[in-house]
Chains A and B, each alone.
Chain A
Amino acid sequence: MELSDSVAVAQARAGDSGAFRALVERHSRHLFRLAYRMTGHQQDAEDVVQETFLRAYRQLAKFDDRASFGTWIYRIAANCSLDLIRARKRRGAQAEPAEEGAPDPMQALPDPAPAPDRLAMSGEIESKVAAVLDGLSEMERSAFVLRHYEGMCIDDIGRTLGVQPNAAKHSVFRAVQKLRRALEPLVSSAS
């Protein structure tokens, strides 16, 4: 029978590595997606997932049983992603738009295959979205990713990022505003 998160956490705290493994296997894919959306880079996302579970393992004693493990680990993953983005900015390196050897994200688009001009437009939009997301502040990007892609409500975003709900709301709003300013001309010409 599958362990609930709270039971798995209790057992992991008691030193049961199998219980911690269950938590890792349950949450990894979701965390990878979040980390990818936040960092825009597959390898960075892999590192974030790894780092998130290492931190969680070390901080398991501090986890409040009344809270949701999912929200807690999300918060850690968001913080790991922010650390990585900050470090990357400090190094002056920007996320690469596409990784060498990585599967072409265009392949994930639905069939039938679009016409070449349509495909080029999609690629342009995709690059533009990536560029705008890269240009957002750390808080704007995190709040937007959690709201838009992860469907988290504003209150939970505030809790996850450790800010007041109002600050989370404004970050989402500013992110959308910037996306809209940058993408609207492109979207209008495509439609």
Chain B
Amino acid sequence: MDSSDAPADEEKTLLELLDRLLNAGVVLCGDLVVSVADIELLYLRLQLTLSSVETARRAGWFVPAPNGCHDWPEGRHAG
């Protein structure tokens, strides 16, 4: 593939990476147990979703209303 439309020495920057990441959307999941002196004290379940609003809307995660308030899709709060 000819790469004439991209400068050869163009380097990836964190900015570009974040820009693309927002476009695709990412979900980070993690389980964490915090122990003190071998005694398990805290349990943390993380589910972080990060994306552009357009991507979130396409995926049905998020439906922004024209007035700036947010309506979550049906069933989001169920259970």
- A and B: interacting chains: no
Interface residues of A (CB under 8 A from B): none
Interface residues of B (CB under 8 A from A): none
